[in-house]
Amino acid sequence: MTHLPMTPLLQDYAKISASLPGVHDSRVATLRAMAAESYRTQGLPHARVEAWRYTRLKDLETLPFSCAAALSDVSEPVEGAGLAGAVLRIVLVNGQYVESLSSQVDIPGLAVGCLREALDAGDDAVIQALDGGGADFAGAPLAALATAYMDDGVVVRVAEGVSVAPLVEVVALATVDVMPHLAFPRFLLLLGAGAEMTLVETFTGPAKGVYAVNAVTDLCMGEGARLNHYVLQAQGAEATHVSLGRCAVPAKAHYEGFVLQLGAKTARHEMRLKMQGVGGEAKLHGAYAVRGEATCDTTTVVDHIAEETITDQVFKGILDDKSHGIYQGRVHVHRNAQRINGNQLHKALLLSRSARVDCKPELEIYADDVKCSHGATVGELDDDQVFYLQARGIDVVTARALLLRAFLGEALDMISVDAVRTAFGAHATGWLDNARGVTS
Amino acid sequence: MSKGLIVTDLRVSVEGKEILKGVSLVVEPGKVHAIMGPNGSGKSTLAHVISGRPGYTVTGGSVMFDGVDVLELEPEDRAALGIFLAFQYPVEIPGVTNTTFLKTALNAQRKARGEKELDPMGFLKVLREKAKALHLPDDMLKRPLNVGFSGGEKKRNEMLQMAVLTPKLAILDETDSGLDIDALRIVAEGVNAQRSPERSFLVITHYQRLLDYIVPDVVHVLAYGRIAETGGPDLARQLEKTGYADYTGSAA
């Protein structure tokens, strides 16, 4: 067995693994063992791991995080992203599903359950869908760690052909305890063929205090299903946030994703899309804003496996102070994926000379009849635009805020669900209202 | 307190090079002054310095407007004072709609002047009326500011902004450049409709053509950073025949 220098976080494992759910199910036990071994082998990401080249999880390397489930006595209602209209809210506190804080579910064809129970019951559909349907831990050591410690989470099932009217929001709330802990919120969606729903994942926690979240989301879509999947990362300023989302898009299915990252000291959100059915379409857009000395990493991995699949990505970021933004976009077109369309664009705006952005588009194309594009720009606020607004009477601070909001707005406008676009827009504006609005 | 624009011995340099070498002129309320001159004579520099664009160093002289030393003010404060610059190259701003932009600008100016902000419905009504007068379709009000507008549409949009913001002094920086004759006529009509005893204009142009439609009270010729000659509308017509050769020492 390889012993890399950086394999902390498994210190609790031997002690608690016997009490984790699904312990008597050989499939779960095997998956756990593979996950623990994968984490032992990979360790915490370091600079020599290409997929993690720019992002170090320094707090996880140096602070004594506990991986044991941290129970919390949160009793007040949980706000979430502030979505207007009908919202079915599911609340996880430190990764544990809390039914008392969650909405009552009374929609035919929709079932919300606790992951622990599903594991203990040996639920076939759930177990088969975990980790991308088969221990998909390559380049994802933190997801492996999450599966090693897999305890609780939420499973949402939507029956075939059902269109879920209210927005479904999964709020993963973290709390700060005496000891810094690492929470593992896990969410699994089983969306039946032809079913439709809008899912919002909201990651949030206290503004102050050290904590860490390592989330895993698996989205399983049936043929012809339509899923809107929106992620808001609004963690506290001292938090470490790592999340991995995986979605396989089957034939004729539509996926629309958006990730807005505005918080945390170190954040990494990775979305993996497998376009595995003919005629599948996916939009994966996002925006981020980062300041102070924070790091914000958005990584996407898109596999075009089937022919005639379409993906489109637009990401925009604002970086202030000494912050560091990362966008990595990998598009892999497999040999038989002819007549596909894959576009990708990343635009970043630097508000400070000390801010830094790394953008890494990666296109790997093995088919010969494809349309792929990628583009990246890094710039500053345009002085001519600022002056134009000033010349019309708008003060310089407002002018800058207006231009920054407009910059992010070009991405945010791609959210097709009004309530989500409005709520995410308000979060972005809130971030900008706290900006100094001055370029050094 | 003297009303109107008073420029006295204005000297301006850009990156160490002197562009304006002592410009003096007085524009009284209600008057239309044209500034003509060959390329590179400093016409646009004058417009930019009065409106407060960064990048220019004033090395001497003064610019007073309604008794206020505008060179001390930020561009937005000059705008609130009533100075409007119609840009030669209007800037495109994706993500900000024309309507949002104009509402923000108007309310910012009103607030700065201690006036009440307009209610959204009242504002929209005014905006639609003024857009119609300039043959701007409603749909352009909802589009991002100047994005994808043709040259003529951008200039008409500048005139719309002027009509909504009702400045006391409007500086038109080569508003005629890039316009065909129909667009030119619409822009000129927009300006003429705005002429009033309280509002003055500084019309900067290379060509006499615009001045057929906007008949000025006074014409200045700016050459080599100085006002070389001042006269009536006839001066513009004379320049159309002779060109700027008299001022540059070579045939223009």
Query: Which tens digits make up the pLDDT trace of B130-177?
Result: 999 888 888 999 999 999 998 889 999 999 999 999 999 999 999 988
Contact A389 B51 (CB under 8 A): no
CA angle A314, A245, A363 (to 5 degrees): 45
B88 in contact with chain A, both atoms CB, cutoff 8 A: no
- Nearest CB among B79, B106, B108 relative to A398 is that of B108
Q: Per the domain annotation, does A8 fall within a domain?
A: no
For B80, half-sphere exposure in the C-beta direction (CA atoms, 13 angstrom radius) is: 19
* Contact (CB, 8 A) for A347 and A316: yes
N- to C-terminal Cα separation, chain A:
50
Q: Name which of B44, B78, B104 to mutate to probe chain A: the one with the most chain A Cβ atoms within 10 A of its Cβ.
A: B104
- Pick from A405, A261, A385, A382: which is nearest to A323 by CA? A261
pLDDT in tens, B5-18: 999 999 999 999 99
pLDDT at site A132:
85
What are the residues whose beta carbons fall under 8 Å from the beta carbon of A6, sequence distance 6 or more? A43, A44, A46, A61
- Pick from A380, A408, A323, A330: which is nearest to A357 by CA? A323
Q: How far is A413 from chain B (nearest CA, A)?
A: 9
Q: Per the domain annotation, does A409 fall within a domain?
A: no
- Pick from B56, B19, B25, B55: which is nearest to B40 by CA? B19
Residues A362-374: what's their mean pLDDT? 94
pLDDT at A5 over 70: no
User: What are the residues of chain A with a beta carbon less than 8 Å away from any beta carbon of chain B?
Assistant: 382-385, 387-396, 398-399, 402-403, 405-407, 409-410, 413
Residue entry with tokens 């992203």: A81
Nearest-by-CA chain B residue for A412: B95
**Contacts B142 to A, Cβ<8 Å:** none
- Nearest CB among A402, A407, A410 relative to B104 is that of A402
pLDDT at site A134:
80
pLDDT in tens, A229-255: 999 999 999 999 999 999 999 999 999
Question: Model confidence at A7, in pLDDT bands (50, 70, 90)?
Answer: low
Rounded Cα distance between B38 and A285, Å, is: 50
- Residue A146 sits in which domain range? 13-381
- Nearest CB among A385, A406, A409 relative to B91 is that of A385
pLDDT at A437 over 50: no
Question: Model confidence at A153, in pLDDT bands (50, 70, 90)?
Answer: very high
Contact B91 A382 (CB under 8 A): yes
pTM of the model: 0.88
* Contact (CB, 8 A) for A139 and A297: no
Residues A338-351: what's their mean pLDDT? 96
Q: Per the domain annotation, does A253 fall within a domain?
A: yes
pLDDT at B250 over 60: no
Q: Which region among A39-43, A46-50, A68-72, A209-213 has the lowest average model confidence (pLDDT)? A: A68-72
pLDDT at site B252:
39
Contact A395 B96 (CB under 8 A): no
Q: Are strands A240-249 and A266-275 parallel, antiparallel or unpaired?
A: parallel
> How far is it between the farthest Cα atoms of chain A?
72
Asked whether this complex has an ipTM greater than 0.90, the answer is: yes
Rounded Cα distance between A156 and A228, Å, is: 14
Task: Compute the count of residue pairs across chains A and B with CB atoms less than 8 Å apart.
Answer: 78
Burial of A410 (0-12, 13-18, 19+ CB in 10 A): middle
pLDDT in tens, A113-147: 999 999 999 999 999 999 888 888 988 999 999 99
Residues B101-120: what's their mean pLDDT? 94
Q: Per the domain annotation, does A133 fall within a domain?
A: yes
Rounded Cα distance between B199 and B166, Å, is: 9
B80 in contact with chain A, both atoms CB, cutoff 8 A: yes
**Contacts B94 to A, Cβ<8 Å:** 406, 410
pLDDT at A369 over 80: yes
Question: Model confidence at A438, in pLDDT bands (50, 70, 90)?
Answer: very low
pLDDT at A63 over 90: no
**Contacts A402 to B, Cβ<8 Å:** 96, 101, 104
For B229, half-sphere exposure in the C-beta direction (CA atoms, 13 angstrom radius) is: 16
Rounded Cα distance between A377 and B94, Å, is: 15
- Nearest CB among A382, A395, A409 relative to B76 is that of A395
Q: Which region among A191-195, A319-323, B204-208, B217-221 has the lowest average model confidence (pLDDT)? A: B204-208
Domain count, chain A: 1
Q: Output the DSSP codes for A305-349.
A: -SSS-EEEEEEEEEE-TT-EEEEEEEEEE-TT-TTEEEEEEEEEE
Q: Per the domain annotation, does A40 fall within a domain?
A: yes
* Contact (CB, 8 A) for A201 and A167: no
Q: Name which of A345, A347, A389, A400 to mutate to probe chain B: the one with the most chain B Cβ atoms within 10 A of its Cβ.
A: A389
Question: Model confidence at A439, in pLDDT bands (50, 70, 90)?
Answer: very low
pLDDT in tens, A293-320: 999 999 999 999 999 999 999 999 999 9
Residue entry with tokens 């316009």: B179
Rounded Cα distance between A415 and A283, Å, is: 10
Angle at which helices A26-42 and A124-133 cross, to 10°: 20
Interface of B with A in 136-195 (CB under 8 A): 144, 161, 165
Rounded Cα distance between B187 and B160, Å, is: 9
Rounded Cα distance between B47 and B222, Å, is: 12
Torsion sign over Cα A37, A40, A44, A50: negative
Contact A406 B161 (CB under 8 A): no
Nearest-by-CA chain B residue for A408: B95
B93 in contact with chain A, both atoms CB, cutoff 8 A: yes
pLDDT in tens, A260-295: 999 999 999 999 999 999 999 999 999 999 999 999
- Nearest CB among A382, A392, A402 relative to B79 is that of A392
* Mean model confidence pLDDT for chain A: 93
Q: How many C-beta atoms surround the C-beta of residue A317 within 10 A?
A: 28
Percent of chain A with pLDDT over 70: 97
Contact B105 A410 (CB under 8 A): no
Q: Which residues pair with A207 in a beta bridge?
A: none
Give the type of residue at B109.
Answer: Q
Give the type of residue at A102.
Answer: S
Give the type of residue at A407.
Answer: F
Contact A395 B108 (CB under 8 A): yes
**Contacts B51 to A, Cβ<8 Å:** 391
* Contact (CB, 8 A) for A251 and A223: yes
pLDDT in tens, A402-418: 999 999 999 999 999 99
B104 in contact with chain A, both atoms CB, cutoff 8 A: yes
pLDDT in tens, A162-178: 999 999 999 999 998 77
**Contacts A438 to B, Cβ<8 Å:** none
Rounded Cα distance between B75 and B64, Å, is: 14
pLDDT at A67 over 90: no
Question: Which contacts of B191-195 are long-range, i.e. CB under 8 A and separated by 24 or more positions?
Answer: B191/B159, B191/B162, B193/B133, B193/B163, B194/B162, B194/B163, B194/B166, B194/B170, B195/B30, B195/B32
B52 in contact with chain A, both atoms CB, cutoff 8 A: yes
pLDDT at B61 over 80: yes
Residues A63-75: what's their mean pLDDT? 82
Rounded Cα distance between B106 and A385, Å, is: 17
- Tokens matching residue A19: 């009490």
Nearest-by-CA chain A residue for B166: A392
pLDDT at site A15:
85
Q: Per the domain annotation, does A149 fall within a domain?
A: yes
